[in-house]
Amino acid sequence: MENRGEIRKIQFTGKSSYIISLPKQWVMDLGLKQGDQIRIVRKGSSTLELYPPKFESRIQKKEDVTIEIGIEEEASIVRKLISLYFLGFKIINVKPKNGRLSPNQRKAVKEAVKRMLMGSEIISDSSGGITVQVLVNLLELSVDGAFKRMIHLARTMSSDAILAVKENNLELAQEVINTDDEVDRFGFYIIRQLKIAIQNEHMLKEMGFRNARNCLGYRLIVKNIERAGDHAAFIAKDLLEFKKPVKKEILEKLQDMNEFCLSVLDDSCLALFKEDYAQAEKTIGKTDEIDKYEKKVRDASKSLKDEEEIYRIRRMTENIRRVSEYASDIAEIVLNMNIEKTLKKTE
């Protein structure tokens, strides 16, 4: 069978039964024979899943889970929530091991749901426990759509961070830092979807992946985008710390360097969406040009005498440079994801 599926006719037999034949190759691959039982599970209004006997255990879905929290636990609550969110649970109950949840524990759960767990809502909240429900439908926001939104946010953060330094705009710098949480939320959502896709071949195809290996590639790419956003936030935090702009001639060079890095990031993501091996290879070669932009920043900084200012420029330069390195890493992953397609074309 091809991944796009086959068209088969529904037939009517007896007085009230509709039947459809199973693909012969599928039956043979699973070692099934006449008389074997198949479990049919309805998914939504238009999808049926078939489970042979030895695969029946796979239909036991992770619907809900309960975690018990000790009196002293606070930071670990968030880590546990994120882990269970990644695993695909729809209902997460947070209960105290003894007594009741403290105000700080309840606050930690609420903040995590609000800032990190996309599509989640608190449906029950008391000192006796909190219940979190993941409401988002698996296909309402595609991995592709979430990833594009994540890239857009990280890219905007980088541009706004440099603009904030240029204008000495502390409010804009704070907004960049706040946006980092939004980038992480999309990242967590994508990771959750990838984990679900790996465990369910039907969902894998519905989400647009050719195979489970691509999920690993996307997982690594998500981490690189998250890090790109982190470095934009570092630049914004630098401004909040020093509360003064950078000299105009140096800032212009930093701005040119940042725009180049973002262009490399755009190229690597374009290669990802187009599944373009040649584009990815070209992007990796382009990243070598970052050295000349960095040299221009160093040359413009030679007149600086203040050690603190010199250190600040070096730190900003490093944060900008890292974006191009992450873009190169993404392009490398695209190469790995598409090398087989390239080989087939040359055969």
Q: What is the pLDDT of residues 152-162, one digit of tens each?
A: 999 999 999 99
Is 3 a residue whose pLDDT tops 60?
A: no
Which positions ≥6 away from 87 have C-beta within 8 Å? 62, 195
- Are residues 186 and 316 both part of a single domain? yes
Q: Is the pLDDT of residue 59 over 50?
A: no
Instruction: Report pLDDT for 36.
Output: 83
Classify residue 152: in a domain, yes or no.
Answer: yes
User: Does residue 202 have a pLDDT over 70?
Assistant: no
Domain count, the chain: 3
pLDDT band, residue 88 (cuts 50/70/90): confident
DSSP bridge partners of 133? 91, 121
Q: What phi and psi values does residue 64 have, to the nearest 5 degrees?
A: -145, 160
Q: State whether the Cα torsion 106-111-114-120 is positive or negative.
A: negative
Instruction: Name, of 203-207, 310-314, 328-332, the range with top average pLDDT.
Output: 328-332
Given a contact cutoff of 8 angstroms between Cβ atoms, the answer to whether 65 and 105 are in contact is no
**What is the predicted pLDDT for the residue at 211?**
76
Q: How confident is the model at residue 64 (pLDDT cuts 50, 70, 90)?
A: confident
Minimum mean pLDDT range among 48-62, 134-148, 189-203, 316-330: 48-62
Instruction: Round to whole Å and give the CA distance between 322 and 224.
Output: 10
Q: Is residue 4 part of a domain?
A: no
Asked whether residue 239 is domain-assigned, the answer is yes
Q: Check whether residue 33 and residue 174 sit in a common domain.
A: no
Do 123 and 52 fall into the same domain? no
Mean local confidence (pLDDT), 296-320: 91
Percent of the chain, pLDDT > 90? 43
CA atoms within 13 A on the CB side of 67: 22
Whether 123 and 229 have beta carbons less than 8 Å apart is answered as: no
Mean per-residue pLDDT of the chain? 85
- Tell me: do 125 and 183 sit in the same domain: no
Q: What is the rounded CA–CA span in Å between residue 88 and residue 188?
A: 11
Residues 272 and 291 both lie in one domain: yes
pLDDT of 220 strictly over 60: yes
Tell whether 42 and 121 lie within a shared domain. no
4 — pLDDT class (breaks 50, 70, 90): low
Domain boundary among 41, 59, 77: 59
Measured CA to CA, the distance from residue 132 to residue 124 in angstroms comes to 7
111 shares its domain with 180: no
In a domain, 1, yes or no: no
Mean pLDDT of 306-321: 92
For the stretch 99-150, pLDDT in tens is 888 889 899 999 888 888 888 889 988 888 999 988 765 556 788 888 999 9
Same domain, 26 and 169: no
Question: Which pLDDT does position 237 carry in this prediction?
Answer: 95
Residue 1 pLDDT exceeds 60? no
Q: 5 in a domain, yes or no?
A: no
**What is the rounded average pLDDT of the residues 212-217?**
84
User: Within the chain, what is the greatest distance between any pair of CA atoms?
Assistant: 93
Answer yes or no: do 155 and 127 share one domain.
Answer: no
What CATH number did the domain enclosing 286 receive? 1.20.58.220
Q: Is residue 159 part of a domain?
A: yes
- Supply the range of the domain harboring residue 281: 143-346
Asked, for residue 264, whether it belongs to a domain, the answer is yes
307 located within any domain: yes
Which of 103, 134, 165 is where one domain is finished? 134
Task: Using the 3D structure, point to which of 115, 134, 153 is the last residue of a domain.
Answer: 134
Say whether both 24 and 115 belong to one domain.
Answer: no
Say whether both 92 and 129 belong to one domain.
yes
Q: What is the pLDDT of residue 2?
A: 39
Quick one: CA dihedral 205, 208, 211, 213, positive or negative?
A: negative
Rg (alpha carbons) of the chain, rounded to whole number: 26
Same domain, 91 and 214: no
